[in-house]
Amino acid sequence: MAELLSLHDAVARYVEDGATVCMEGFTHLIPFAAGHEVIRQGKRELTLIRMTPDLVYDQLIGAGCVSKLIFSWGGNPGVGSLHRLRDAVEKGWPQRIELLEHSHAAMACAFEAGAAGLPLAVLRGYVGSDLPKVNDQIKFIDCPFTGERLAAVPSIRPDVSLVHAQKADRKGNVLVEGIVGVQKEAVLAARHSIVTVEEIVDDLDVEPNACVIPGWAISAIAVAEKGAYPSYAHGYYDRDNRFYKAWDAIARDRDAFTAWLDDNVHNAGGQS
Amino acid sequence: MAELLSLHDAVARYVEDGATVCMEGFTHLIPFAAGHEVIRQGKRELTLIRMTPDLVYDQLIGAGCVSKLIFSWGGNPGVGSLHRLRDAVEKGWPQRIELLEHSHAAMACAFEAGAAGLPLAVLRGYVGSDLPKVNDQIKFIDCPFTGERLAAVPSIRPDVSLVHAQKADRKGNVLVEGIVGVQKEAVLAARHSIVTVEEIVDDLDVEPNACVIPGWAISAIAVAEKGAYPSYAHGYYDRDNRFYKAWDAIARDRDAFTAWLDDNVHNAGGQS
Amino acid sequence: MRTDYTAAEMMTVTAARALENGMTCFVGIGLPSEAANLARLTHAPDVVLIYESGTLQTKPEVLPLSIGDGELCESALTTVSVPEMFRYWLQGGHIDVGFLGTAQIDRYCNLNTTLIGDYHDPKVRLPGGGGAPEIATNAGEVFITLKHSRRTFVRDVDFVTTLGFGRDGKGREGVPNIGKGPTRVITDLCVMQPDPETRELVVVSLHPGVTREDVCDATGWEIRFAEALESTPEPSARELEVLRELKERTNRKHAGE
Amino acid sequence: MRTDYTAAEMMTVTAARALENGMTCFVGIGLPSEAANLARLTHAPDVVLIYESGTLQTKPEVLPLSIGDGELCESALTTVSVPEMFRYWLQGGHIDVGFLGTAQIDRYCNLNTTLIGDYHDPKVRLPGGGGAPEIATNAGEVFITLKHSRRTFVRDVDFVTTLGFGRDGKGREGVPNIGKGPTRVITDLCVMQPDPETRELVVVSLHPGVTREDVCDATGWEIRFAEALESTPEPSARELEVLRELKERTNRKHAGE
């Protein structure tokens, strides 16, 4: 049953050094506030999972929290590279990180399989791609009915998933609305989960088939207003595309990045 | 792109003798009007697929349309047996039908896999059950990552699926709301699909994540008011539980059934 | 047996008491549904009821006739597709207890809802497995409730639709990622539990007024009784009142009044 | 080259014209998205645009900066989860054409968006595959659009992120349930198509004012030209107007005005 905690306490309780951590949100509802709290608490040697690392993982990598990244597309969407990711991969700053690289289709299926409690996902994927040559987690199986060769990847089962959503009710039931990505899967596939929300309401007031994650499937709820900024929350605030563009210059330079991190995360008190 | 047809024309065009036909709707939105049109047009030697055969398949079986049934629970929910199904299986009236029997979990996964374009579904299922002994379509595979033995079943790929939904807009986009069952999967897994709807509207007027099937993924739309009766349509009319109870007596007796079929289907003109 | 409640009421109340507040329960239609909703309306207001039609955390005012009555959706927290229900919620490991009925049960708790007789030439064709085969293996544990008779309690089921502990009691041994299986069977006569060693069903509690002989007469094998055989507590006045009101509401609704 | 439109505009308009009305198109971000939306706003109002963020049949007023801008969801018929997008809509066979950009392309249309140099010690680390590997194999056919240069058009890509026709042009032969693969490549200089036999890219149409030499200079292998080499039709005034308005609206929006 979801417990209502401060973001500080939720991260302190569930995110351990060395853990496999997933922060999801497909462009929309990216859990920046939660990521910043992980940085502030100085978590180390994390294996991060995320389809599209985005700025939040660039920041975690640059802050030295990360030793391994499992992902399928690592860029600043519509802008260019993630310079902190590149600096870590190409130059080992602040530390070298290991990459385990998939396609979106494989990761999406691996999240689905994780939520479904299965050890593997099967997909018609990776045909002719070199990715299976550099990722030994990609295997192939033969369909016992048709003989077709299909790709298989291990399901994703994080130690803890952190996602952001619009709102929760007082029992911890959460509404995710708009581009829902793989957030529900990330929560269901994980051993523990923290959901940050814009607000707590009396009644979610939703249609019968809305994407609602029951409180009993979540470990902790934490209120984080504008917790997805500079990503966005459908119905609350827009994506700050200007910040995404500005990030390119900040992240390109180690000193500029470090100064930004000090000002906006380390010294930003509680929820930034 | 969905074409707006009369139910008669849609069934005449897409349901062929000998075809594999799926009429879905999990208790809710069962396509009775479409099933009755199939009976009226005297289709023969159909392989019917459906998780819960319900009264509509009892009627199709009793009317002699069916040579094979793929299913996972064949009863009159909360009432008892499907007597026409039993009469066909136990006594061969009006003809013997072949059964291919699954569990709900396996069929649900097989629908999912069919919609996903895969030849097989993998699930943690059938452990210790005798069903694999009587259904040679149930196989087992070893997970290449963990070695765990998992069940595999062929995906469901009907020639044509018939489902009922609340409404369509003028481009044939369909809203399914409430207990959505495996209807979307049934449509997406099939080569052709017919969706009957309560009404055509200008605008579906839905939330961002509503269960909407785009018109370009559907072959034909036909208006069938009360087309799910005696099942129900969330937001339109309730399930007629009295009829479900009354069916027990009608279906128990071949003559009573034949008279009912004449009065309510064969001689009921167009959409019953 | 006392006269102020029926054996059926005794069964339902006892089955309801097996559910603890806050449990997530995958509910079979019929007797399990009646018991689960009684639990929700009495001692376990936060029990989470899940029906295979996709209705998560539902709170029906009346008992559903089918597994997918509109009431279940209207009173649910949310309603998901049936593939999602079986994949994410059941197989995904979110169900504490699966609550099942059955047509036949044997001494090792195997359930038969497929047929009586031979599969290819059945004497009686039953509805089939439905959700039970995977509920019984993917839920944390399983409660079973059904009326006690020699027709239902047989030494060996004609067909193992749904695994209890297998033909030899060892059907779950060495199987990874499987639930504990049946932990109690509640009938109109008694409560049974599998022996911790052999997995054979043992009567652990007799309902008030029921004798060992009553149970033996209604069971198709030589049923054993626990050394510390208990007497099942009687229904409380409140439980009976809530149950009767629930059934009356239900009958009125399904008669179309 | 004429002066009343740019080479980039010529590329976008030509790419847009490749889409037919009513096609379902899985749209990559950047140039493909620009072209696909231009098509929708001009000759193909019923083209169905699908973005991997889950937005089905979307009609954004401005071009999205990311693949998941709010605009895409707000103007979509409906928005599904990302697993559903890849499983039901792409792998399920509902996509006529996948429209992709790339960092590198080779003579057999293989795409590299992973890295330059060696995988374990890269000179430049690129974003990675994203949706492309399965878009390119599960869509009915694939259009590719990118700027022409020796940096992007290489004889052999450093890494096959996404299959065109493989290292030898035979990568799709004998593979069941696979799309036709790339059927045209549209750049700021020309249009190319794979040779029907060898699958090697052949220039089939030069944009107005572009010479064979221009293309050869910008291509990292000895590119061939079709015998019946055509001249790409120029953009119409309406296409240019709609494109410029679209880009202006987009710039205003993303600047936060």
Query: B271 in a domain, yes or no?
Result: no
Taking the domain C7-251, which CATH number applies? Answer: 3.40.1080.10
pLDDT at A245 over 90: yes
Convert the pLDDT of each residue in C79-94 to its tens digit: 999 999 999 999 999 9
Cβ burial, residue C118 (10 Å; 0-12/13-18/19+): exposed
Same domain assignment for residues B188 and B248: yes
Convert the pLDDT of each residue in C150-203 to its tens digit: 999 999 999 999 999 999 999 999 999 999 999 999 999 999 999 999 999 999
Same domain assignment for residues A17 and A92: yes
Nearest to A216 among C48, C87, C91 (CB): C48
Same domain assignment for residues B79 and B47: yes
Residue identified by tokens 């009343």 is D4
Nearest CA distance, A17 vs chain C (angstrom): 26
Nearest to C29 among B77, B124, B148 (CB): B77
Question: Which of chain A's residues have a Cβ under 8 Å away from the Cβ of D52?
Answer: 104
pLDDT of residue A161: 98
- Interface touch C78/A115, C-beta < 8 Å: no
Which residue among D9, D20, D34, D52 is the active-site one? D52
Q: What ranges in A41-125 are assigned the alpha helix state H?
A: 54-62, 83-91, 104-115
Question: Which of chain D's residues have a Cβ under 8 Å away from the Cβ of A28?
Answer: 53, 68, 70, 73
Query: B269 in a domain, yes or no?
Result: no
Question: Which of chain B's residues have a Cβ under 8 Å away from the Cβ of A123?
Answer: 118
pLDDT at B42 over 90: yes
Question: Which of chain B's residues have a Cβ under 8 Å away from the Cβ of D77?
Answer: 173, 212, 214
The residue of chain C nearest to residue B51, with distances taken between CA atoms, is C130
**D52 assigned to active site:** yes
pLDDT of residue B271: 47
Same domain assignment for residues A95 and A191: yes
Convert the pLDDT of each residue in C30-49 to its tens digit: 899 999 999 999 999 999 99
pLDDT of residue D65: 87
pLDDT of residue B78: 85
Mean pLDDT of C2-13: 89
Structural domain count of chain A: 2
- Interface touch D56/B214, C-beta < 8 Å: yes
Nearest CA distance, A176 vs chain C (angstrom): 12
Nearest CA distance, A234 vs chain D (angstrom): 7
Mean pLDDT of C123-146: 97
Nearest to A210 among C48, C78, C91 (CB): C78
The residue of chain C nearest to residue B211, with distances taken between CA atoms, is C81
Mean pLDDT of B132-149: 98
Looking at B116, B133, B154, the residue that finishes a domain is B154
Convert the pLDDT of each residue in D192-249 to its tens digit: 999 999 999 999 999 999 999 999 999 999 999 999 999 999 999 999 999 999 999 9
Query: A81 in a domain, yes or no?
Result: yes
Query: A270 in a domain, yes or no?
Result: no
Same domain assignment for residues A126 and A233: no
B42 lies in which domain range?
Answer: 3-102+157-260
Same domain assignment for residues A31 and A58: yes
What value does the mean pLDDT of chain A take?
96
Distance CA B33, CA B74 (A): 20
- Interface touch C48/A116, C-beta < 8 Å: no
Q: List the subunits that have 3+ CB pairs under 8 angstroms with C.
A: A, B
pLDDT at C21 over 50: yes
pLDDT of residue A8: 98
Mean pLDDT of D121-136: 95
pLDDT of residue A12: 98
pLDDT of residue C93: 97
Q: List the subunits that have 3+ CB pairs under 8 angstroms with A.
A: B, C, D
Classify strands A149-154 and A139-142 as parallel, antiparallel or unpaired. Answer: antiparallel
pLDDT at D2 over 60: no
Nearest to B181 among C64, C82, C132 (CB): C82
Q: What ranges in A101-160 are assigned the alpha helix state H?
A: 104-115, 131-134
Same domain assignment for residues B19 and B57: yes
Same domain assignment for residues B185 and B172: yes
Closest CA to B108 of D34, C83, C146: C83
Is this structure's pTM higher than 0.80? Answer: yes
Same domain assignment for residues B185 and B241: yes
Same domain assignment for residues A35 and A118: no
Nearest CA distance, C138 vs chain B (angstrom): 8
pLDDT of residue D188: 98
Nearest CA distance, A202 vs chain C (angstrom): 13
Q: What is the CATH number of the domain that holds A83?
A: 3.40.1080.10
Nearest CA distance, A180 vs chain B (angstrom): 8
pLDDT of residue A39: 98
Nearest to B1 among D22, D87, D91 (CB): D22
Is B271:B35 a contact under the CB 8 Å cutoff?
Answer: no
Convert the pLDDT of each residue in A118-149 to its tens digit: 999 999 999 999 999 999 999 999 999 999 99
What value does the mean pLDDT of chain C take?
95
Q: Interface pTM (ipTM) of the complex?
A: 0.97
What confidence tier does A271 reach under pLDDT thresholds 50, 70, 90? very low
What confidence tier does D66 reach under pLDDT thresholds 50, 70, 90? confident
Mean pLDDT of A253-263: 98
Closest CA to C91 of B118, A188, A159, B111: A188
Query: Does C66 or D163 have the greater pLDDT score?
Result: D163
Same domain assignment for residues A201 and A79: yes
Convert the pLDDT of each residue in B95-116 to its tens digit: 999 999 999 999 999 999 999 9
C-alpha B222 chain-centroid distance: 16
- Interface touch B179/C79, C-beta < 8 Å: yes
pLDDT at A269 over 70: no
> Which residues numbered 215-254 in B keep a CB inside 8 Å of some CB on A?
234
Which residue among C52, C71, C134, C239 is the active-site one? C52
What confidence tier does C67 reach under pLDDT thresholds 50, 70, 90? confident
Number of residue pairs across A and C with CB atoms under 8 Å?
47
The residue of chain A nearest to residue D122, with distances taken between CA atoms, is A90
The residues, any chain, with a CB within 8 Å of residue A209's CB and separated by 6 or more, are B177, B178, B180, B209, B210, B211, C78, C79, C80
Same domain assignment for residues B247 and B117: no
Q: Could you say which DSSP state residue C235 is in?
A: P
User: For the residues of C69-137, what is the DSSP string, one character each?
Assistant: -HHHHHTSSEE--HHHIIIIIIITT--SEEEE--SEE-TT--EE-SEEEETTEEEEE----TTHHHHHH
- Interface touch A117/C92, C-beta < 8 Å: yes
Query: A266 in a domain, yes or no?
Result: no
pLDDT of residue C69: 87
Distance CA B261, CA B36 (A): 9
> Which residues does A contribute to its contact with C (CB < 8 Å)?
1, 112, 115-118, 173, 184-185, 188-189, 206, 208-212, 214, 216-217
Classify strands B174-176 and A149-154 as parallel, antiparallel or unpaired. Answer: unpaired
Give the tokens for residue B68: 């094979």
Give the tokens for residue D30: 């950047």
pLDDT of residue D257: 55
